């Protein structure tokens, strides 16, 4: 009855460290075994195969997401605060988000934000069907935005460049001033804030 060399927790901790340091692709059973200093097959006894291992990793990360408690005065500001908090959460775990996406656990990841939004629309007294629309539209907008940001971030160098892509805009029916604006890179934080505000304004009524 010697003590086990490794435990399920130790395997998950080590796997998490590999993913956070070197990305998902670096998480192989052999690399994991090497880092744990055991034979590859020992891992299978504790966590099953790679698929279930990654599943446990995902569940651990999203399980650690606590409630979101928005600040702000009035439904609009508070709904926007929930959206911003959710985006910060996604950004805090860039590698693991890829795993969440791959494993279709996005619904689970969104749950705390979904509950927080549901509380806000309840407090605002919205009609149930409309309330559900607001919750879902904001969730989709925020998480979709964050997913897309990650994709654009690791975009290879653009060929042709944005500038020559738009030219002066004239030949494709776009005003030169608009073409010039679109040729410049966008500030993602600003874009997120303004588009979320527009969405919430459109959902809850009132001026943007």
Partner DNA sequence: ACCTGAACACCGTTCAAGT
| Alpha carbons 134 and 46: distance in angstroms, whole number | 43
Among 22, 168, 181, 189, interactor with a second copy by CB under 8 A: 181
**Neighbouring C-beta atoms of residue 49, cutoff 10 Å:** 11
Cα dihedral: 35, 104, 48, 89 (round 10): 40
| Best CA proximity match to 46, nearest among 65, 62, 61, 32 | 32
The partner in contact with residue 5, picked from DNA, a second copy, none with C-beta cut-offs of 5 to 8 angstroms by kind, is DNA
Residue corresponding to tokens 């309840």: 122
Which of 33/135 has CB closer to a second copy?
A: 135
Are 125 and 77 in contact, with CB atoms under 8 Å apart? no
The partner in contact with residue 69, picked from DNA, a second copy, none with C-beta cut-offs of 5 to 8 angstroms by kind, is none
CB of 47 to DNA, least distance (A): 10
- 3-state SS, residue 74: coil
Binding part of the chain for a second copy, among 2-10, 13-21, 37-45, 175-183 by CB under 8 A, reads 175-183
* Residues in contact with DNA by the rule CB under 7 A: 4-6, 27-31, 38-42, 44-46, 49-51
Distances (CA, A) of 104 to 11, 55, 91, 100, 108: 23, 10, 18, 6, 9
Among 7, 63, 140, 167, interactor with a second copy by CB under 8 A: 140
Q: Does 186 bind a second copy (CB under 8 A)?
A: yes
Residues that bind a second copy (CB under 8 A): 101, 103-108, 111, 114-115, 118-119, 121-123, 126, 128-129, 131-133, 135-137, 140-141, 143-148, 151-156, 158, 165, 169, 172-175, 177-182, 186, 191, 194-195, 197-203, 205, 207-208
């Amino acid at each position: 009855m010697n003590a086990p060399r490794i435990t399920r927790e130790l395997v998950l901790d080590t796997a998490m460290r590999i993913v956070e340091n070197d990305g998902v692709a670096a998480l192989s059973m052999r690399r994991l075994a090497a880092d744990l200093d055991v034979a590859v097959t020992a891992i299978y006894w504790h966590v099953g195969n790679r698929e279930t291992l990654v599943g446990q990793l995902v569940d651990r990360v999203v399980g650690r997401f606590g409630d979101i408690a928005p600040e702000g005065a009035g439904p609009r500001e508070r709904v926007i605060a929930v959206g911003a908090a959710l985006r910060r959460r996604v950004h805090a775990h860039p590698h693991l988000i890829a795993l969440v996406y791959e494993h279709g656990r996005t619904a689970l990841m969104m749950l705390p934000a979904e509950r927080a939004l549901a509380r806000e629309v309840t407090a605002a007294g919205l009609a149930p069907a409309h309330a559900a629309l607001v919750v879902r539209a904001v969730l989709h907008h925020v998480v979709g935005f964050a997913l897309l940001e990650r994709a654009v971030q690791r975009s290879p160098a653009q060929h042709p460049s944005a500038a020559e892509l738009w030219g002066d805009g004239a030949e494709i029916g776009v005003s030169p001033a608009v073409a010039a604006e679109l040729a410049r890179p966008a500030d993602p934080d600003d874009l997120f804030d303004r588009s979320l505000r527009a969405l919430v304004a459109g959902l809850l009524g009132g001026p943007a």
